[in-house]
A and B are shown apart, each in its own frame.
Chain A
Amino acid sequence: MMLRESQIMKIHYVTGIAAIFVVAVHIMMRLIMPFGMSLEYDNVIANYHNIPYVVLLESILVLIAIHGFNGLRVILLELRQSKSWEDGVTILTIAAMMAVVAYGTRTIIIANGLGFE
């Protein structure tokens, strides 16, 4: 299925706006206690055992990966235009996006405890 650029830009805007809200919550979670303490191993793992927070982390991962790699694709397409370049950039950015989402999801699943013991 091919998406039109106008549809891709709508997705870009929606993911960008949504990312502002979820990242704001993510940052606030670091500020509910002294910053250094919030980064202690037990506190961070406790975050990953909190299911609503896990959902938030996964949504941050997906939203920013889509927004960020599409942004990179747009920048690269602005610099140069040809069929092979555009296809190559699109394939590479989608592959990179999927790899980052997969790797981040792996961390979330393991830290959530599914991979422990």
Chain B
Amino acid sequence: MEVDRSNREGLKGWLNPGRYGWERVSYWLQRLTGVGLLAYFVGHIFETSSLTQGPDAWAAMLELTQTPTGHMILLLVIGMSTYHSANGVRLIFTHGGKGLGKPGRPDYPYDAVSLNYKQRSGIWIALILAATAMLYGASVLFGGE
């Protein structure tokens, strides 16, 4: 008989950053940025398809997207993609066992060796890179060129 092993906490458990600190924040930021980027990707495919209907359709689409609001959304996409990429590279190393530290005796207060400064630095580097990319993006998008 098939057993339904539904996650009892569902989205609440998924989004709860309380129990695991920065690692949990990084976990759901990776997922939220991933879903956001997928939505942008699908929207971008639709947006560029207006090219096939000629210059007028393309101009009409640009009027819709090349606005201050459109640029703010693009800035968010720049930040999301930079964070998702940098944190994704950290996760690939982590899943390969790099930067996890050596297993030790479980002494009180039972801090996990794997949740170490290397991992936290990686998360901070991803956040700083995202902020830097957004600043550069803002200078290009709102720089008046």
Contacts and interface: CB of A to CB of B under 8 A. Distances in A.
Main secondary structure of the interface of B (DSSP, over half): helix
Contacts of A82: 2, 4-6
Nearest to A96: B42
Interface stretch (B33-41, B100-108, B114-122): B33-41
Contact of B140 (A31, A44, A65, A106): A31
A72 B48 contact: no
Given A69-B38, A75-B35, A81 B10 contact: no
Interface residues of A, number: 37
Nearest to B13: A79
A81 B35 contact: no
21 contacts: A13-B92, A36-B66, A36-B145, A39-B62, A41-B51, A41-B59, A44-B51, A61-B45, A68-B34, A68-B38, A75-B31, A79-B7, A79-B14, A80-B10, A81-B5, A82-B4, A83-B2, A107-B45, A107-B48, A110-B51, A110-B52
Interface of B: 2, 4-7, 10-11, 14, 31, 34-35, 37-38, 41-42, 45-46, 48-49, 51-52, 55, 58-59, 62, 66, 81, 85, 88-89, 92, 95, 140-141, 145
Interface of A: 9, 13, 16-17, 20, 23, 31, 34-36, 39, 41, 44-45, 48, 61, 64-65, 68-69, 71-72, 75, 78-83, 100, 103-104, 106-107, 110-111, 115
